[in-house]
Structure 1
Amino acid sequence: MNRPAVYILDLDGVVYHGRTVIPGASESIERLRSSGCRVVFLTNNATRTREAIARRLVDMGIPCDAGDVISSAYAASVYIKEKYGSSTIYPVGEQGLVEELERAGHIINEQDADYVVAGLDREFTYEKLTRALDLLMSGAGFIATNTDAMLPTEHGFLPGAGSMVAAIQAASGVVPDVVGKPNKPIMDVLLREYGMRSEECVMVGDRLETDILAGIRGGMQTVLVLTGASGIEDIESSGIRPDAVLDSIADLE
């Protein structure tokens, strides 16, 4: 594998599990930066703002600022702004999604929205599903931050944003535009944000069908780490083949 100029790191399952840093992650990131490589964090997590994600990494001993982070919430807010302009939005998601949408100039309106934007919502209810259905049946567009079925934690796996998105899609029959990995919108935002070329980058992730596929589709080198969702046995069954497989981020050279 050629030496890249930019390492794009997923977070959950690569850098940490929940509140627990994966052993060697901090040292590996420091080593990459010291060698002159840029390190960027790319996450489908839409529950936190970029600032909150950066603070969390700093608290874990990994230097980071908001400018080092692209989340699916941020990417969704940019995607909507660039494609449709400032819009009224009903968010099915948490405060981080709401804040990113508002910062981009969108207006939150639960009664009359141009778009329903759905991400992980740990307070998802039948009432929220009904509101989303009403808006979609009235002609609102449907955008998903991501469709991850589950997310890794230090205690195992929890339902991901894909569960909420699937419920809304099943009720309404409307297929969403999906912004997050492995889809093109988040990768376009990433490359434009930092002025990077895909051939300069390597995507490091734990999930074949999101992280690795996103890198492959984007023309990047890819590294699968075996500390999260996908195992080495999944490569054959999925047909998604990374350029390299490592036990963990600690093994990045």
Structure 2
Amino acid sequence: MEEKCLLDFNAKKGFICDMDGVIYHGNKILPGVVEFIQWLQAENKRFLFLTNNSGYTPKELHQKLARMGLDVSEDHFYTSALATAAFLKEQAPGCSVFAIGEAGLLNALYDADITMNEVNPDYVVVGEGRTYSMETLTKATNLVMGGAKLIGANSDVSGPIENGIAPACRALTAPIEMATGTRAYFCGKPNPLMMRTGLRLLGCHSGEAVMVGDRMDTDVISGMESGMSTVLVLSGVSTPETLKEYAYRPSIVLNGVGDIVAAAHSYVVGH
């Protein structure tokens, strides 16, 4: 319990939280989440759900949480799809892309005035989704061979689902990289561009914010390298054994986000 008191959550202004494995698994809400969101709202904390899943729009994420009984408005979500669209808009305004992905990615690209092009696009953009097939893979490979630059929405190799794991964006991009000899550029966590945007949306300095996630390789490293305090929760991908694989450590390890509320209360009592 002593370790929990080393980090005063009450003093932090902003919280950036991953979603898969932190807030829910598939369509099941995780223990302690309701209390955590109630605490954030009651304490007037600024918070942002930052997800590498490129498939959903903020509106869909709002509705997904609403179905689980959580009322979180659309402006509290930022996705790797939005980060990808923002990157392309900054790099090449008005560019065209061949995109493999779901509504979250396609809507973000359209909103950034990026057009779809299957003939000679400037970029091939890969996200998670059911449209992924041998046909789209072959098309993407040949477009990259023809000069299109390769972008991945995020660098997650896999993601948690209710019955195990599913291949995620990096795994889906790998065949194109291997076939073409081209390395993709990934826009989601742990890319510092996404983290900086998250902090800007929160209106917080990194020292005032906490990154909460279930993965050492995306959540914890991105928070740490951005200068934030980091919380690794064991409700998703990482286990206590996972910590031994990395040369860096989170600020604190907790079982789930509900422990943040308990830690905040115990800090007050202990001081």
1:203 partner letter = M
Asked if 1:221 is matched to 2:229, the reply is yes
In the aligned structure 1, how far is the partner of 2:202 from the partner of 2:143? 35
Q: CA deviation at 1:237?
A: 1.6
Using the TM superposition, give the Cα deviation of residue 122 of structure 1 relative to its aligned residue in structure 2, in angstroms: 2.9
- Whichever residue aligns with residue 168 of structure 1, its letter is I
Residue 70 of structure 1 is matched in structure 2 by 78
Structure 2 residue 177 is the aligned partner of structure 1 residue 179: no
Moved more, 67-76 or 146-155: 146-155
Supply the distance in 2 between the matched residues of 1:86 and 1:189 (Cα, whole angstroms).
Answer: 21
Alignment partner, residue 41 of structure 1:
49
Counterpart-to-counterpart distance in 2, 1:33 and 1:48 = 24
Question: 1:173, CA displacement in angstroms?
Answer: 1.1
Describe the superposition over 1:153-201 as per-residue Cα deviations: whole angstroms up to 9, x where unpaired.
Answer: 2222111112111111111111111111111121122223333321111
Letter in 1 for 2:140: A
2:178: which partner in 1?
Answer: 170
**What does residue 60 of structure 1 align with?**
68
TM-score by length of 1: 0.96
- Is residue 98 of structure 2 the alignment partner of residue 90 of structure 1? yes
Query: Structure 2 CA distance, aligned partners of 1:208 and 1:240?
Result: 9
Give the match's secondary structure for 2:63: helix
Structure 1 SS opposite 2:159: strand
For structure 1, the 5+ residue unaligned runs are none
The corresponding residue for 1:135 is: 143
Please report the TM-score for the alignment, with normalisation by the length of structure 2.
Answer: 0.90
Question: Which residue in 2 is equivalent to 1:18?
Answer: 26
Q: Distance in 2 between matches of 1:185 and 1:142?
A: 18
Shift of 1:147: 1.8
Give the Cα separation in 2 of the matches to 1:55 and 1:197.
Answer: 29
Aligned to 1:240: 248
CA contact (8 A) 1:29 1:39 kept: no
For 2:124 and 2:202, locate their aligned partners in 1 and report how far apart those are by CA, in whole Å: 28
CA distance in structure 2 between the partners assigned to 1:148 and 1:240 by the alignment: 19
Deviation at 1:86, TM superposition (A): 2.0
Give the unaligned 5+ runs of structure 2: 1-6, 262-271
- Higher deviation after alignment, 14-23 or 138-147: 138-147
Letter in 2 for 1:12: D
1:35-54: per-residue Cα shift (whole Å, max 9, x none)? 12112100000011111111
Asked whether the equivalents of residues 46 and 119 of structure 1 are also in contact (C-alpha less than 8 Å), the reply is yes
Shift of 1:232: 1.3
Equivalent position of 2:257 in the other structure: 249
Contact 1:89 1:115 in 2 (8 A): yes
> Contact 2:48 / 2:202 at 8 angstroms: preserved in 1?
no
d(CA) in 1 for partners of 2:158, 2:144: 25
Cα distance in 1 for residues equivalent to 2:199 and 2:257: 22
Tell me which structure has the larger Cα radius of gyration: 2
3-state DSSP of counterpart to 1:252:
helix
Matched, 1:205 2:213: yes
